[in-house]
Amino acid sequence: MKTRSQSVKRVYRGVHELSDFTTANRRILYISGLGMIVGIASGFIAYALLKLIGLFTNLFFYGKFAISFASPAQNHLGLLVIGVPVVGGLIVGYMARYGSERIRGHGIPEAIEAILINKSKMEPKITVLKPLSSAISIGTGGPFGAEGPIIMTGGAFGSVFSQFLDLTTMERRTLLVAGAAAGMAATFNSPVAATLLAVELLLFEWKPRSLIPVGVAAATATLIRGLILGYQPLFPISPTPSASFLTLLSAASVGIIAGAASTGLTQAVYAAEDSFRKLPIHWMWWPAIGAVAVGIGGLISPRALGVGYDTIDALLLGQLVVGIVGTLVIVKATIWAISLGSGTSGGVLAPLLIIGGSLGAMASLVLPGGVPALWVLVGMGAMIGGTMRAPFTGVIFALELTHDVTALLPLLVGSIVAYLFTVLSMKRSILTEKVARRGVHVAREYSVDTLEQILVRSVITKTSFQ
């Protein structure tokens, strides 16, 4: 007969041999090395896309051949500005129909769908068609950011690269997400936010086997960006005052405003999409029709056109008067929802920064505590946290864009409140709604599998074999 002490020792030895993590071999070093290669490529892809956007903006709005950044807001086309986005919409529609339908939209839902349905496999031509179509769309005034297309392009490169190697489906997913995170990191100089975005939206797990290679890719892409463009924050501001209790109450108010706006924007995008679906013409023509609204919006508020990085900077520095900001937020939200609903190619982060920052700027007129720049920043972070259901990404993203560490606590409060608002008001986010419409349910709550915590020896008995 075995004594009790012998049984206890055997159990102890069995538990002692187990690891905290399922990643227990050195293959993770190999995948991390591949992630570094993907990060290098994504860094250069991001740089190339930004230059392409500058090229098309200069060509279409100013009639000159140059790759430097230019804002469409300074154009002198008059009524002709309405036709520029239409031309871009026609080109993108043609590319989507005869190139690949996967270039339609803002990129992140397509990456999610590739992970969940297509075993993390993307077509090689996406790596060319997506950035080119997005550069044309944005360069002709489309009210989008470059990050969504870069996320999809970087993800496509990671996916295609992995398909040439002897990798598992999980490892392909890791490299796809590594490319996506690296693309965002290189665009905004935001490696931590990019890694968090990968965790909150794309990985569907928090495990060393995927988190480490993705972090390596994001850091590598940021290094490449720094070597080319510098390491300074994209939108530097003076440090805001330390938070008080009154400041946090105001931050919660901004979170409520951003949460309500997030809900309204999501509903507006899919209402526009539903309206386009009712048109008795092929979807190839939808981007051009939506672009008419973009052109009209550009007449009313020129700052609503294009990526709007100069507008984000102006909002943070308090250089825009209230009337301009009020018009900007209405026009930007309207043309963005219509254009995105039409199925053209473009990203969501930059528009959300402008819309959230504008709401924060207007709220600063009545909110006690803090300074106007703080409420602009909190509005940006809360808008991302609520609309994309990625609260930690919203917080860290805002910090990395400005390097204002003292805003951390108000950002956390505003982003969490906006996140809470949208969780209670909507079943799905602006990202997962698109995937759900294609018949795929995305579960966003991560938890430890109970079966992984139950050892066989703890439930098996001698009678199990009788």
Q: Distance between CA 351 and CA 450 in Å, rounded? A: 41
Cβ-contact 193, 393 below 8 angstroms: yes
Cβ-contact 385, 295 below 8 angstroms: no
Domains 27-229 and 245-436 share a fold: yes
Q: Distance between CA 275 and CA 447 in Å, rounded? A: 38
| Intervals of the chain under pLDDT 70 | 1-25, 106-107, 115-116, 118-120, 440, 442-466
Q: Distance between CA 193 and CA 196 in Å, rounded? A: 5
CA 419 from chain centre, in angstroms, equals 15
Residue among 105, 68, 142, 21 nearest 283 (CA): 105
Q: Which pLDDT value is given to residue 116?
A: 66
CATH topology of domain 245-436: Clc chloride channel (1.10.3080)
Q: Which pLDDT value is given to residue 167?
A: 85
**Domain 27-229 is in which class?**
mainly alpha
**What are the distances in angstroms from CA 353 to CA 137, 151, 165, 275, 311?**
19, 17, 38, 26, 10
The structural domains of the chain, with segments of one domain joined by +, span: 27-229, 245-436
Q: Which pLDDT value is given to residue 10?
A: 56
Query: Would you report the helix, strand and coil content of the chain in percent, each value rounded to 5?
Result: 70, 0, 25
Question: Angle at CA 161, nearest 5°, toward 168 and 45?
Answer: 140
Question: Angle at CA 255, nearest 5°, toward 250 and 261?
Answer: 130
Q: Which pLDDT value is given to residue 450?
A: 63
> Which amino acid is residue 284, in one-letter code?
M
Q: Distance between CA 282 and CA 268 in Å, rounded? A: 22
Q: Which pLDDT value is given to residue 326?
A: 92
Which tens digits make up the pLDDT trace of 323-352? 899 999 999 999 999 998 888 877 788 889
Q: Distance between CA 287 and CA 346 in Å, rounded? A: 11
Cβ-contact 116, 439 below 8 angstroms: no
370-373-378-383 Cα dihedral, nearest 10 degrees: 150
